[in-house]
Amino acid sequence: MVKKHIFVNLKRFDVPAETGGVNRLASPDKWAETIISGLSAGLEKYRDQAAFTFFFPEAHIIQAVAVNGAPLSVGCQGLHWDDVTRGGNFGAFTSLRPAAAMKALGCTSALIGHCEERRALEFVLAGGGAEGEAAAGAVNKILAREIAAAKAQKLKVLYCVGEKAEERERWQEVLSAQIDAGLSVAGDDLVIGYEPVWAIGPGKTPPDRACVEKIARFVKKRAEGIPLVYGGGLKADNAAMLASVPEIDGGLIALTRFSGEIGFYPAEYLEIVRLYLEGVR
For 197, which DSSP code?
G
Model pLDDT, residue 203: 80
How many angstroms separate the CA atoms of 262 and 88, rounded? 45
Own/partner pairs, 11-14, CB within 8 angstroms, 24+ separation: 11/57, 11/77, 11/116, 11/254, 12/57, 13/57, 13/263, 13/264, 14/57, 14/59, 14/60
| Torsional class of 262: left (φ above 0), alpha (ψ -120 to 50), beta (otherwise) | beta
Smallest Cα–Cα separation from 218: which of 245, 185, 187, 181? 245
Q: The whole model's pTM is what?
A: 0.96
Task: Write the pLDDT tens digit of every residue in 48-78.
Answer: 999 999 999 999 999 999 987 889 999 999 9
pLDDT higher than 90, residue 16: yes
Q: CATH number of 4-280: 3.40.190.10, 3.90.110.10, 3.40.47.10, 3.20.20.70?
A: 3.20.20.70
pLDDT of res. 1: 66
Residue 281 is predicted with a pLDDT of 67
Kindly tell me if the per-residue pLDDT of 195 is higher than 90.
yes
CA dist 198 and 71 (Å) reads: 33
| Sequence ranges of the domains in the chain | 4-280
Judged by average pLDDT, the poorest of 158-162, 182-186, 200-204, 262-266 is 200-204
Q: 29-42 pLDDT, tens per residue?
A: 999 999 999 999 99
In this prediction, residue 128 has a pLDDT band, given cuts at 50, 70 and 90, of confident
Q: How many CA atoms lie within 13 A of 269 on its CB side?
A: 25
Residue 133 has a pLDDT of 79
Q: What are phi and psi of 21, to 5 degrees?
A: -90, -160
- C-alpha span between 150 and 156 (Å, rounded): 7
Q: With bands split at pLDDT 50, 70 and 90, how would you rate the model's confidence at 132?
A: confident
Where does the pLDDT of residue 126 fall: very low under 50, low under 70, confident under 90, or very high at 90 and above? Answer: confident
The SS3 assignment for 7 reads: strand
Residue 13 has pLDDT above 80, yes or no: yes
- Is residue 244 within 8 A of residue 230, CB to CB? The reply is no
Question: Does position 146 have pLDDT exceeding 80, yes or no?
Answer: yes
Q: How many CA atoms lie within 13 A of 240 on its CB side?
A: 2
pLDDT, tens digit (0-9, with 9 covering 90-100), for 199-255 = 998 788 899 999 999 999 999 999 998 999 999 999 999 999 999 999 999 999 999
CA 137/CA 40 separation, integer angstroms? 41
Q: What is the pLDDT of residue 213?
A: 97
For the cut 70, the answer to whether the pLDDT of residue 139 exceeds it is: yes
| pLDDT number for residue 118 | 96
Q: How far is it, in rounded angstroms, from Cα 172 to Cα 201? A: 22
Where in the sequence numbering do the catalytic residues fall? 114, 195
Closest CA to 113 of 153, 157, 154: 157
